[in-house]
Structure 1
């Protein structure tokens, strides 16, 4: 009888957790239905418990889930309630990087995904380019040069790839380009972590990357999407060669 009681208790616990996950999903749908208005109050705890028809314990577990996912947070006190929040993209990027590293993504898989995304991004960025976009690209190149002048040979180049993705106006491309570019950088850092000094090879690689970026930006500014694609492809192939698996 004791064992049955324990099993029943465990079953009840799992059922409550699943119910809380269901309620969290309903909260997310309600947030999206309302247009994901940051700062909007979905309702008080009492109102929402009544709306979703669950116990206070289940509702609070659901709130814990949506807070963890940065969809909303519970504000206490007068005028309080479940408040819609804005997700932090940095946390999303870090979670994606952790997952891909856990999944043991190969360098070849990383290269293939990055190639597809960045070629699509550079084409759209070229087609949608404005004067402000040109200024943003120029600033990115200037920043890159300044970092190189200070002796930074790793991490100086990732910003331009992010800028091009942002100019494409596709948040999905921007998110995953940043994730994959950071993973590339992590792999390079792993290869170089035993070096005490940057060395001429690292400085040459940084200079080659910067020259490739200048050529890509020139093609984008000229409105030549096929040339921009060609130069981006050649640049990413050079990165892939740098990261080529030892066999």
Structure 2
């Protein structure tokens, strides 16, 4: 068997066994077919069978027990990414902003270089909706998210909007996190939101990746600095004041990034 064929069989065997494990054909604690069984079933050498088992061990699906064989492991429940994120804590907001600064800065640069005409129009439309909400004194939570999501879509890389959707719940923090009463804007509400978004839009319209990158970085960095200052101002208080109390009802106004 040629080297390429050997690897192909390794993947085939490990794939078959993985599927059987995931569908429950081999329950946790079950002994898998032996190397000898696999060599006879697939017409391969024991080396190929051993490599297939090695792939499963690397994935945490099985364990080898000396003198007994290979057994299926009990799998821990899968935890959704960011499931432990508490968006009512300033520290969690800062964590997300640090992540977004790396992620969305490059997304803006890609969007400037790759956006289609229809995607550009979607970005402009989202920007206009944010501006309209600001003028009317309405929450810009959804419009603000739509603006950033439209830029992510314009990267022509579907993983960007998928990732943004994954962290959506923490993108626009609650206004009360900054000490504002429910329904009111926080004192340091970003009054330059429309202007900051406008600079990003202009750079994308011009197809200037460097400028788009710079303006998105400035936009997110300003938000991060505000939250770091807020966290520092609470450093001498009790730990609980880094976290919001439970909602008392209604939909609070939010601060926008």
Bigger-Rg structure (1/2) = 2
- Which structure has more RCO (C-alpha within 8 Å, separation ≥ 6)? 2
CA deviations over 1:106-162 (Å, ceiling 9, x no partner): 444322211111022111111112221221111111111222233124514221111
Question: How many angstroms does 1:97 deviate by?
Answer: 4.6
Paired residue for 1:58?
Answer: none
After the TM superposition, list the runs of 4 or more consecutive aligned residues in structure 1 that deviate by more than 4 angstroms. Answer: 18-21
Give, in whole Å, the separation in 1 of the partners of 2:216 and 2:20: 46
Equivalent of 1:114 in 91, 100, 107: 100
Paired residue for 1:239?
Answer: 223
Contact 2:119 2:153 in 1 (8 A): no
Contact 1:121 1:164 in 2 (8 A): yes
1:1-247 → structure 2 map (5 Å cutoff) = 22-23=22-23, 96-101=81-86, 106-155=92-141, 156-180=143-167, 182-186=169-173, 188-192=174-178, 194-196=180-182, 198-199=184-185, 201=187, 204-205=189-190, 207-244=191-228, 245-246=231-232, 247=235
RMSD: 3.4
CA deviations over 1:51-109 (Å, ceiling 9, x no partner): xxxxxxxxxxxxxxxxxx9xxxxxxxxxxxxxxxxxxxxxx9xx54533339x874443
Give, in whole Å, the separation in 2 of the partners of 1:171 and 1:149: 33
Give, in whole Å, the separation in 2 of the partners of 1:111 and 1:25: 44
Q: Report the count of equivalent residues.
A: 160
Question: How many angstroms does 1:209 deviate by?
Answer: 1.4
Contact 1:122 1:228 in 2 (8 A): yes
Distance 1:100 1:21, change over 3 A: farther
Contact 2:180 2:186 in 1 (8 A): no
TM-score (normalizing by structure 1): 0.54
* Helix, strand or coil at the partner of 1:157: helix
Give, in whole Å, the separation in 2 of the partners of 1:23 and 1:222: 51
Residue ranges of structure 2 left out of the alignment (5+ in a row): 1-17, 27-77, 236-257
| More helix per residue | 1
Give, in whole Å, the separation in 2 of the partners of 1:151 and 1:127: 34
